């Protein structure tokens, strides 16, 4: 399946972590892009060995581009751009605009993501129905996980540099955030 595989990237989005594989045949110019194991682009005979391939990733169809650049001779460098930014810059920005929690409830693994700019909540790739309310110390976003009551509290960190701090509570119990 992954003949001529030259690069693999993991991209963390609201709806989950997506694996991107890129295959490049340096004699035929073949280019194949796979997202989560599914082929999304195939070009079998390309005269030009350098260039770019653009496609979308995830439920929100985030734009991604693989750049193929010649380093020297027949050596190539492959970089991934997400939403017009290098993968590193995109992931750095994501850590500022989203918050992720990984938890196990009733023996089931969950990945909960809060999009801070829209206050959308995603759980295992599905956008959740939420109810928001203002409370004395900030806001609360409520949703259900099976029959468990969940709440994401947004409160001031108390210092300008800290900004707003988000906490996840499941049945009233605080869940530590995950670094992604």
Where do the domains of the chain lie? Answer: 5-83, 95-175
pLDDT in tens, 94-108: 988 999 999 999 999
Interval 72-94 mean pLDDT:
92
So what's the pLDDT on residue 1?
61
Largest CA-CA distance found in the chain, in angstroms, rounded: 65
The pLDDT of residue 79 is above 80: yes
- Which carries the bigger pLDDT value, residue 77 or residue 176? 77
Interval 11-21 mean pLDDT:
95
- Asked if the domains 5-83 and 95-175 are classified in one and the same CATH topology, the answer is yes
Q: Which option is the CATH number for 5-83: 2.40.128.180, 3.90.380.10, 2.60.40.420, 3.40.50.300?
A: 2.40.128.180
pTM equals 0.83
**What whole-number distance in Å separates Cα of residue 84 and Cα of residue 21?**
19
Gyration radius of the chain's alpha carbons: 20
Mean pLDDT estimate for the chain: 91
The pLDDT of residue 180 is above 80: no
So what's the pLDDT on residue 54?
97
In this predicted structure, which of 71-75, 141-145, 169-173 has the lowest mean pLDDT?
Answer: 71-75
Is CATH 2.40.128.180 the classification given to domain 95-175? yes
Structure tokens of 86? 């290098």
Tokens 């017009």 belong to 84
């Amino acid at each position: 399946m992954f003949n001529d595989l030259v690069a693999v990237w993991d991209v963390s989005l609201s709806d989950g972590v997506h694996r991107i594989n890129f295959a490049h045949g340096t004699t035929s110019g073949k280019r194949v892009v796979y997202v989560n194991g599914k082929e999304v682009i195939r070009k079998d005979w390309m005269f030009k060995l350098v260039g770019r391939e653009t496609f979308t990733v995830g439920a929100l169809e985030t734009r991604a581009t693989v750049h193929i650049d010649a380093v020297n001779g027949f050596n190539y460098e492959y970089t991934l751009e997400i939403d017009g930014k290098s993968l590193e810059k995109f992931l750095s920005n994501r850590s500022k605009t989203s918050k992720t929690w990984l938890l196990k409830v009733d023996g089931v693994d969950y990945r909960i993501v809060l999009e801070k700019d829209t206050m959308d909540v995603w759980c295992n790739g599905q956008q959740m129905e939420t109810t928001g309310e203002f409370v004395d110390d900030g806001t609360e976003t409520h949703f259900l996980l099976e029959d468990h009551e969940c709440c994401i509290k947004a409160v001031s960190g108390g210092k300008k540099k800290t900004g707003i701090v988000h906490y996840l509570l499941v049945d009233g119990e605080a869940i530590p955030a995950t670094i992604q």
